[in-house]
Structure 1
Amino acid sequence: MSPVVRPAAGPLAATFLDLPAGSPGGSVELFLDLYTGDKPLIPARAFMLTPAGPRPNVPAGLDLLAVSGKCLEGTGFSRYVAALRQALVAAIDPAQIGVLHLQHLTFGATPALLRALPAHPRIALVHGTDLLFAEAHRDQLQVLRETARAADAIVVPTGAMADHLLRLAPQADRRKVVHIPWGIPDHLLTDPPSRPARTSTSHLRLLYAGRLTAEKGAEHLVTSLAPIPGIELSIAAPRSQFHAMAPLLQRAGVRAQYLGWLRRPQLWKAFTEHDALVIPSTTLEAMGLVALEAQACGLPVLYQPVPGLNEVLAASGVATDFTHSAALARDLDRLRKTPGLLPALRQAGYANACRYPLSTTAEALADLGRQLT
């Protein structure tokens, strides 16, 4: 039986992720893991946006705000932030809130929360998309720098994220930066899904799981896999993104089984049905939570050693170069032919995942909130 993970005792947080409920991504899963459910790990008033179309089923403790006009720059962005602020003011009693948890240093929710609740302590949580969008959009860089100044504490999951943040916001107070790794659900570590016995070893079964945006490197994966024999590739990704990738798969002659955009338990089961997870990211990763969840389920990880991933995975996975087919082929051949390598990687990966229980993340964030209130 899995142990009961108790909510972290701390001040009630107000937190807001300005993505539509149901959006894909590791930061969304982390947000829901921490702040929602019947007994959230961090007690909170948690908000996301109402998506277009039918209202989705949302977890307990998640409120949706019907605000449209999301954008990144110019007067439209200012209007969007003002509308978010107005919706938050109508939804929140400031007297109930002890601390702000600012999801991202960029985007609209963070300045809206700061303006709706200007007198509360502020903990800012840095995600990879913050830094990528701040590099690409001047207005978002401005928001990032303003948030870094306004926050009482800036939480980074890896040292690589801190380094990148301080390059973008060199005036930020380094003393405010706190290292708290993200985590994966405790029950996945204590009660992982069982792994069926492998009946055939003629092919190496690879799984890609995640969004198919440019920085995730799926294009490099496909072109490098094309000449390599003995590979079966499965892809779990948003449907529209997989369809957009279909012409590349066809040109490369790579046959990929599309698994759908899987719910967490389905993804965990898929982890047990493959030989390795591939993470070909081309730029930094905040933490690589999907890699840790795979390791918890006994799935070895083959990864591009970008900042963040190389810190979290290190020797518990196999670092390779997805931009060079010969290097990738050599590492895949080693996985297939070296006796005992895959079982050893499964063992090392599980031990690594056990370093990152979500309850530890929640307790560290709650303790930080207690220090600030």
Structure 2
Amino acid sequence: MSFLRPPAGPTAATFLDLPAGSPGGSVELFLDLYTGDQPLIPARAFMLAPTGPPARLPAGLELLSVPGKCLEGPAFGHYVAVLRKALTAALDASRIDVLHLQHLAFGATPALIRALPTHPRIVLLHGTDLLFAETHRDQLQILRETARAADAIVAPTGAMADRLLRLAPQTDRRKITHIPWGIPDQLLTTPPLRPPRTSMSHLRLLYAGRLTAEKGAEALVKSLAPIHGVELSIAAPRAQFHALAPLLKRSGVRARYLGWLRRPQLWKAFTEHDALVMPSTTLEAMGLVALEAQACGLPVLYQPVPGLSEALAASGVATDFTHTTALAREIDRLRTAPGLLPTLRQAGYTNAARYPLSATAEALDDLGRQLA
């Protein structure tokens, strides 16, 4: 299998107003597309400067020192104004062809539009846009304004587009285009080796990602508590794992904490477990961690929420993490059914191979060329 790197397209200005080093699939996708020695999409790419010393920054990532990130009220308007001022100072409008707006909501999107008001606008839709717009009035207003102002809205799944249209029903549907997110091509061409599994006396489960409420870790822990024959490992931000620790203790679930792993470390961890668990409660834009796990030969046990069920479908095992009986049944089946895990590994890899990152970049480049 080989993938061609798309030719350099229009130069984008893009900004994710999260501190560099923040966890999350949208952050990884952002860094994959716009940073590195040879970025897939030529760009001026910005994030916020962290409060402490930043970890190693990828080539091409620029930091803006703008405090006061918030979501609502007069302080939000002030935050956007300061962001716009910083972007105006940093960018030469004549060297930018198109805006890649990383979210329909949050501060970076209106700030970048106001800094470069005449440039074509492509918006990339993520799950957090929709979740925060549902719970914060100012974010809903920004989402609707951005949907009107956008030249194109990129949704990775049909479920995400449907959710957007429920929140912003006046959105011109012709603006919405379906471009799936992708995973690094090298993970598909040269996945890490999986060591042989000699005993299936227990099933090694891995949870990987943030431990925020919509990710469903609480339901996972409660449902796992009475189930025997499993080992749970958690790769998550340290502070979030510590916040989960009291529930783990009360439930009697022993979890091995792996830390917040860098990408190659996470890929290696995939090869050392038997299934990835994704108990998300609400929606996933696409579930990139699940696709990366599949590329590494790790079957996925998932809650069939919008976005995730579309990206995985029958290539993973859908279950209900809120019901111990249903979860126990699937875990027992994974552990005892002859040939099931190898079959799921092959189905998972076939599914993941549909989503090379180079295809995402090429589609975004093509869209930019049409608009620039």
1:333 is aligned to 332
Does the CA-based 8 Å contact 1:8-1:362 persist in structure 2?
A: no
Does the CA-based 8 Å contact 1:233-1:257 persist in structure 2?
A: yes
Distance 2:19 2:301 in 1: 31
1:277 equivalenced with 2:279 (yes/no): no
Distance 2:108 2:4 in 1: 29
**1:202-237: CA deviation from partner (whole Å, max 9, x where unpaired):** 110000000000000000000000000000000000
Does the CA-based 8 Å contact 1:145-1:169 persist in structure 2?
A: yes
Distance 2:276 2:268 in 1: 13
How far apart are 1:5 and its partner, in Å? 4.7
Distance 1:298 1:4 in 2: 20
Does the CA-based 8 Å contact 1:184-1:293 persist in structure 2?
A: yes
- Does the residue aligned with 1:123 lie in a helix, a strand or coil? strand
1:120 equivalenced with 2:119 (yes/no): yes
Alignment of 1:308-323 (within 5 A): 308-323=307-322
How far apart are 1:53 and its partner, in Å? 1.3
How far apart are 1:4 and its partner, in Å? 7.1
Distance 1:370 1:141 in 2: 30
Return the letter of the residue paired with 2:276. L
2:226 is aligned to 227
How far apart are 1:57 and its partner, in Å? 1.8
**1:268-300: CA deviation from partner (whole Å, max 9, x where unpaired):** 000000000000000010000000000000000
Return the letter of the residue paired with 2:228. P
How far apart are 1:250 and its partner, in Å? 0.3
1:257 is aligned to 256
**1:340-365: CA deviation from partner (whole Å, max 9, x where unpaired):** 00000000000000000000000000
1:268 equivalenced with 2:267 (yes/no): yes
Does the CA-based 8 Å contact 2:49-2:64 persist in structure 1?
A: yes
- Does the residue aligned with 1:200 lie in a helix, a strand or coil? coil
1:183 equivalenced with 2:182 (yes/no): yes
Q: What's the TM-score once normalised by structure 2's chain length? A: 0.99
Does the CA-based 8 Å contact 1:3-1:187 persist in structure 2?
A: no
Does the CA-based 8 Å contact 1:7-1:43 persist in structure 2?
A: no
1:107 is aligned to 106
**1:281-327: CA deviation from partner (whole Å, max 9, x where unpaired):** 00010000000000000000000000001101000000000000000
1:94 equivalenced with 2:101 (yes/no): no
2:159 is aligned to 160
1:292 equivalenced with 2:311 (yes/no): no
1:169 is aligned to 168
Distance 1:232 1:269 in 2: 17
1:38 is aligned to 37
Return the letter of the residue paired with 2:96. I
Distance 1:177 1:4 in 2: 26
Does the CA-based 8 Å contact 1:320-1:327 persist in structure 2?
A: yes
Percent of aligned pairs sharing the same letter:
81
**1:160-183: CA deviation from partner (whole Å, max 9, x where unpaired):** 000000000000000000000000
Return the letter of the residue paired with 2:362. E
Cα RMSD for the two superposed structures: 0.9
1:147 equivalenced with 2:146 (yes/no): yes
Distance 2:314 2:237 in 1: 30
Return the letter of the residue paired with 2:356. P
Distance 1:278 1:196 in 2: 20
Structure 2 alignment gaps of length 5 or more: none
How far apart are 1:10 and its partner, in Å? 1.3
1:359 is aligned to 358
- Does the residue aligned with 1:235 lie in a helix, a strand or coil? strand
Distance 1:44 1:272 in 2: 34
Structure 1 alignment gaps of length 5 or more: none
How far apart are 1:7 and its partner, in Å? 4.6
Return the letter of the residue paired with 2:265. Q
1:193 is aligned to 192
- Does the residue aligned with 2:204 lie in a helix, a strand or coil? strand
**1:122-164: CA deviation from partner (whole Å, max 9, x where unpaired):** 0000000000000000000000000000000000000000000
Does the CA-based 8 Å contact 2:3-2:358 persist in structure 1?
A: no
How far apart are 1:201 and its partner, in Å? 1.4
Change (3 A) 1:3 1:354: closer
- Does the residue aligned with 1:69 lie in a helix, a strand or coil? coil
- Does the residue aligned with 1:345 lie in a helix, a strand or coil? helix
Q: What's the TM-score once normalised by structure 1's chain length? A: 0.99
After alignment, is 281-290 or 195-204 more displaced?
195-204
